[in-house]
Every structure is written in structure tokens, then in C-alpha cells.
Chains A and B, each alone.
Chain A
Amino acid sequence: MEILLPDTGLFIFQSLAFLLLIFVLGKFAWKPILSGLKEREETIENALLSAEQAKSEMEALNADNAKLMAEARSERDAMLKEAMAAANTIKEEAKEETGKITAKMLEDAKAVIENEKRAALADVKTLVASLSLEITEKVLRKELSDKKAQESLVDEYVKDLNLN
């Protein structure tokens, strides 16, 4: 029966010690422990979430990359085709142009040659004329050096005049 009667002294000590424990542990142990636990749980949750997010981002990025690659490839193809076409037209144009230029140059050359020929021919003509005049003069001078020859010539001319 004795053990069923609470002892006053022990009751007082127990209550005081328990109060002290609640306050000291509450302030210096449970508070940091619980907040630390919470912080850790949040950190882990956040880490998991961000890992998941990173994974999905990575997947999206990969898909984007593939799309970009495909786009780049088709663009390159298009550019190549275009460039080839451009090169072809340029080649064609150049060919045409060259043909034209050549033709024109040929024509020009022909014209120049013609002109030169004409000029040369004219020169030759004048030279021939002056030479023949000189020769004629020399010949005439020699033939008309005597009076008789002069007279015959005059006569001849006169005859010619008369005839006309």
C-alpha cells in the first residue's frame, strides 16, 4: 500500500526537473533538432524536385537539339541547292557575257583593221600618185627638154581639145 502513496518531496523534485527539462531541451535541443530536420527534409525534397526538373529540362533540351539539328540540316541543304543554282546562273551569265565581249572585240578589231586598211590604202594611193607625178614630171621634163617636143605636145593637146 505504501508504494501507492505519492511522496511529496519526490513529486516536487520530479515536477521541477521535468519543467526544467522541457524548457532547456525545448530551447536548446528540440528547437534546433526539429528545425534542422525540417530544413533537411525541405532540402532533400527540393533537391529531388530540381533533379526531376533538370531531367525534364534535359529531355526538352534534347528534343530541341534534335529539332534544331534537323532544321539546320534542311537549311544547309536548301542553302547548298541555292548556292549551286546561283553558281550555275553566274556561270551561264559569265559565259554569255564572255561571248558577247568576244564578239564585240572581234567586231571592233575588224573595224580597226578595216580603218587601218583604208588609211593604208589611201596613203599608198597618195604615195603612188605623188610618185607617179614625180615620175611623170621627171619624164615630162626629160621629154620636153627640147623645144620641138614641147611644141608637139602642145599640138597634141590642142588636137585633143579640138577633138573635144
Chain B
Amino acid sequence: MKNNRTNFPNLLIISLLIMLFSISNSSNLFAASGSGDEEKEEGSTDFIMHHIADDYQWHIVTIGHTHVTIPLPMIIYDHGELKFFMSSDFYDEHHEPIAHDGYMISHGKLVRAGAGHGESAGHETDDAHGAPTADDHEEAQADFLNLSITKNVASLFLSVFLMLITFLTIAKRYKSGVAAPKGLQSLFEPIIVFIRDDIAKTNIGEDKYQRFMPFLLTMFFFILYNNLLGLTPGAANLSGNIAVTLSLALFTFFITQFNGKKAYWGHIFATPGVPLPLRPIILVVEIIGIFTKPISLTLRLFASITAGHIVVLSIVGLGFILNSVAVGVVGTLFSVVITLIEILVAVIQAYVFTLFSSMYIGQAVDDGHH
């Protein structure tokens, strides 16, 4: 009974925040529902995709026709030249994309002005400052390096900052000699011990796990922090971005390959217990296996986090699409439940990614005594 009472305000806050979410996207949806059936469907999934995808500005809330956004810096490396802009340079006062210095943001992508998508591009070129260049969109995209501090990069920096603060603060307590855990330390210490004892030691081995602890701990907490940050209303969807999960999986991949012992490579190139005629087939399978591991890591994290966001937003969006208050109320309540499940998923995915990473590393560093 007591627990219920203490949880109630939290639930209320969560549902309020989720409602805030829906309000911030309402104009989008209303606009969509105004048009024809075909467009309506497209528009409603658009707002979800817009949330899932990266952005050049940090959109917090839309009240009526006022968009509350934080402009973010944009860095472009174009043919040996570094260019700095603010994302606000690319939008006019009505929040419509405009061309600036030869570039423009079209459908969430920075492209050369005049090379944009479809019908809007021609219109926008008129007020562009720079000259329009390539006609082919694919070509235009590839010929400069976009190092902008996008919403996801900003969120990445935020999570790095939060992690540094958290763990450097905790580390201070350990430096001052043996003492009982206190405060934030008591929250993280069991997790650290769990990763050490139940993930690293069991999968890598008692004598070799130490070297990989910094990697595994950083991995776990990075994913956990960003999964949870991703559930915060208005936040970016960093750990559900494939570039991020690919980068994380590649870390595991390279660490695994560089630490591969004789037994590991022997297992791949001359699998023990396999008759010679079958070996070429097994070799192909094993080599494919090396690469499926990082791919599965990449896709698992990306898919589960992105899917969670899509489910929550879809349920919230139902009320607006069906234009029904009842569906909206039920949908909001249901999305609260889904959000709670998402918190669980956030922890599980961080655990699973770390667990599989340590298993792959464990296979690589194994000496071959079975």
C-alpha cells in the first residue's frame, strides 16, 4: 500500500511528460489529419520517424505555432574547408527550411542547396545565398563531410558529461581508503560488481578479465545512460541510432579480433573435430560468423530501442489519428505501461550488449583448455 502511494506521483509525472510529448507533436498530427487519407497516414508516421531520426536542432516543444528549439552548431568539411554555421541559419522565422551558404536542410538531411528532394527544392533555391550546384541528390550528399553537432551528437556529449561526473565522483570515494559505500556509490557499486563477477569473470575468465573491465564497464553504462536518456521526453534517440550501435559493435569486434589467441584462430581456420573434406565449408561458416557477431550486436540494440520509441509514439499518436479523446486517454495510459517496460528494456539491452561483448572476448582469449 505504501509503495503504491509513493509510486503514484512518479507515474503521474511520467504520464504528464508523455502527454507533453504528444502535445509537442500535435501540430504535426493535426496538420496531417487535415489532408487526404494517403497523406494522413504518411504524416502520422512522419512524426514518429522524425522523433527516431537525428536532427540539426533540438526541438523541445511546439505550442500552437511556436516551436521551442535549441539551435545547434553545424560543422561542414567541404573540400578541405571547415565551415561553421548555426542550425538556426537554415530556418526562417516561420520555421521553414531555407538555403544558407550553398547548403540547406531537406527532410532532415543537409544537402547542397538546389539538390534537395522533389518539389520544395526548386522553390527554396530562389532565396539561397550560394549558387545551386549538383542536380543529383546522391552525388551532392557524398561530396562533403558533415560533422555537425546534431541533436544526437549533443545528446552524446551530454551523456559523456553525465558519465564523467557520475563515475569520477564515485571514484573519489574509493581513493580515500576502505569505507562503506554511500549515496550514489551504493547505487552503482552492485552494478559494477555484477558486471565484474557475473559478466566479465564468468565469460572471460578469472585470470584475464581485468584487462577488459574498463571497456565493459564503459560499454554497459554508456548504453544504459543513453537508453534512459532516450526515454526522457524531448531527448534524442542516441542508442537507437544505427551509427552509434555500429560504432559500439565495432569496438567489440576489433577488441575481439586483436585479442584473438591461437586457439581462437585455430578454431576458425582448422575447426577441431571436423573431417578434412568438410573444413572448407566450416571455414566459410566461421568467417561469416566473425562478422555476424558485430552485425547482430548493432541490430539488436538499434532495433529494440528504436522499436520501443516507435511503439510508445504510435500508441500516443493513435488518439490524434483516430481523432478520439477516449482512444487518447487509453493510449496515454497504455503508453505509460509501455514506457515502464521500456525502462526495463533499457537495462536489459545494456546488459545483453555487455554480456555478448564479453562472451565474444571470452572466446577470443580462451587458451583452448576445455
Contact = CB atoms under 8 A, between A and B. Distances in A.
B54 A10 contact: yes
A14 B178 contact: no
Given A4-B242, A15-B247, A17-B157, A9 B146 contact: yes
A30 interface: yes
A99 interface: no
A15 B49 CA distance: 24
Interface string B132-164: 000000000000011111101100110010011
Contacts of B243: 6-8, 10-11, 14
A34 B244 CA distance: 27
Contacts of A2: 49, 53, 108
A35 B192 CA distance: 12
A40 to B, nearest CB: 5
A30 B146 CA distance: 34
A21 B49 CA distance: 30
Chain B CB within 10 A, most for which of A10, A26, A28: A10
B175 interface: yes
A5 B245 CA distance: 12
A153 interface: no
Contact of A18 (B173, B210, B248): B248
B159 to A, nearest CB: 8
Given A25-B214, A25-B217, A6 B242 contact: yes
A9 B147 contact: yes
B196 interface: yes
Interface in A20-44: 20-22, 24-26, 28-37, 39-40, 43
A5 B138 CA distance: 13
A11 B146 CA distance: 11
A161 interface: no
A3 interface: yes
Given A2-B53, A21-B218, A30-B213, A37 B242 contact: no
Contacts of A30: 167, 171, 213-214, 217-218
Contacts of B175: 32, 36
Contacts of A4: 242
Contacts of A29: 167-168, 170-171
Contacts of B163: 21, 25
Nearest to B109: A2
A12 interface: yes
Dominant SS among interface residues on chain B: helix
Nearest to B108: A2
Contacts of B49: 2-3
Interface in B235-251: 241-244, 246-248, 250-251
Interface string B212-248: 0111011000100000000000000000011110111
A39 B174 CA distance: 9
Given A25-B214, A36-B174, A3 B306 contact: yes
Contacts of A28: 168, 171
Contact of B218 (A6, A12, A22, A34): A22
A8 to B, nearest CB: 7
B78 interface: no
Nearest to B174: A36
Given A24-B164, A37-B189, A3 B242 contact: yes
Interface string B341-360: 00000000000000000000
Nearest to A6: B243
A13 B147 CA distance: 8
B52 interface: yes
Interface of A: 2-15, 17-18, 20-22, 24-26, 28-37, 39-40, 43
Given A8-B146, A18-B247, 19 more contacts: A6-B243, A10-B152, A10-B153, A10-B243, A11-B247, A13-B156, A17-B156, A18-B251, A22-B218, A24-B164, A25-B167, A25-B217, A25-B218, A26-B218, A28-B168, A29-B167, A29-B170, A33-B192, A43-B178
10 contacts: A9-B145, A11-B246, A18-B218, A21-B218, A25-B168, A25-B217, A28-B171, A33-B174, A33-B192, A34-B210
Q: Which 4 A-B pairs have the closest CB atoms?
A: A36-B174, A26-B214, A6-B243, A29-B167
Interface of B: 49, 52-54, 108, 145-150, 152-153, 156-157, 160, 163-164, 167-168, 170-171, 173-175, 178-179, 189, 192-193, 196, 210, 213-215, 217-218, 222, 241-244, 246-248, 250-251, 306
